[in-house]
């Protein structure tokens, strides 16, 4: 069965997860994390991707970005992944695959889900029990979005910019968002959408994207279809 093509809409944010092969580590030392970020900056600029949030975990990576073109995100991940694998294999005298196949992704409705996705990403080290507060973890975008640390390649989305009139106001408002825990149902929704290559957002958003792309962008219903039921692909 041919694999489903990615749901990509230029100008619409996308959440990306790339895992180490068999959930094995893909970062071994601080130098590895830094090399990855350096090359992320280089290739994001070259391929037309605006990076809004990220976290580098020991065995996987989360990125949240807006692609300028249909193939911008795929081009970024291909070049970044290849170069990083070459570096790891050379540095640690290893060979073979580092990543677990294709990266997973979902587009996200910016009005309702952009800041939720950023929180989900930057709270990963907390959920994993690595730190008690996201600001304690070095390899994420939280310190830039919430505490003003300079990370040159980050691009603040217009939704983030609407949090306040000044940089300090925006950072303060962003920090306040982290006072409340994410709803477990929302966490599950993000995971399902990303792992399944679906759209993350309201039903109206999904309907609009489905109509624009001419394909299903949310999970299908289980069970056999009823007789004379209109197929999803023919709905508008």
Query: How does residue 2 score in pLDDT terms, banded at 50, 70 and 90?
Result: low
Whether residue 210 lies inside any domain: the answer is yes
Report the number of distinct structural domains present in the chain: 1
Please state, as a whole number, how many other Cβ atoms lie within 10 Å of the Cβ of residue 133: 11
Whether residue 233 lies inside any domain: the answer is no
pLDDT by residue (tens digit) across 134-153? 999 999 999 999 999 999 99
Whether residue 80 lies inside any domain: the answer is yes
pLDDT at residue 224 in the model: 46
Classify residue 27 by burial, with Cβ atoms within 10 Å: 0-12, 13-18, 19+: buried
Whether residue 209 lies inside any domain: the answer is yes
CATH number, domain containing residue 123: 3.30.70.1290
Q: Is the pLDDT reported for residue 3 higher than 80?
A: no
Q: Is the pLDDT reported for residue 223 higher than 50?
A: no
Distance of CA 165 to the CA centre of its chain: 27
Which residue range(s) make up the domain with 167?
14-214
pLDDT by residue (tens digit) across 160-211? 999 999 999 999 999 999 999 999 999 999 999 999 999 999 999 999 999 9
Whether residue 101 lies inside any domain: the answer is yes
pLDDT by residue (tens digit) across 200-216? 999 999 999 999 999 99
Classify residue 166 by burial, with Cβ atoms within 10 Å: 0-12, 13-18, 19+: exposed
């Amino acid at each position: 069965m041919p694999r489903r093509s990615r749901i990509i809409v230029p100008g619409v944010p996308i959440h990306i997860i790339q895992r180490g092969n068999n959930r094995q580590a893909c970062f071994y030392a601080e130098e590895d994390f830094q090399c990855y970020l350096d090359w992320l900056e280089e290739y994001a600029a070259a391929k037309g991707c605006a990076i809004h949030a990220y976290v580098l975990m020991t065995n996987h990576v989360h990125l949240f970005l807006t692609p300028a073109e249909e193939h911008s995100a795929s081009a970024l991940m291909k070049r970044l992944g290849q170069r990083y694998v070459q570096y790891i294999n050379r540095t640690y005298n290893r060979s073979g695959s580092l990543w677990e196949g294709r990266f997973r992704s979902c587009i996200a409705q910016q009005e309702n889900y952009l800041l939720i996705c950023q929180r989900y990403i930057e709270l990963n080290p907390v959920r994993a029990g690595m730190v008690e507060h996201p600001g304690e973890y070095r390899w994420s975008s939280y310190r830039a979005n919430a505490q003003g640390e300079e990370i040159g390649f980050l691009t603040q989305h217009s939704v983030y910019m609407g949090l306040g009139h000044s940089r300090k106001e925006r950072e303060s408002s962003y920090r306040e968002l982290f006072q409340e825990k994410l709803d477990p149902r929302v966490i599950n929704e993000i995971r399902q959408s990303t792992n399944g290559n679906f759209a993350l957002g309201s039903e109206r958003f999904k309907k609009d994207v489905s109509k624009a792309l001419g394909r299903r962008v949310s999970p299908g219903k289980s069970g056999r279809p009823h007789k004379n039921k209109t197929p999803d692909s023919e709905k508008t």
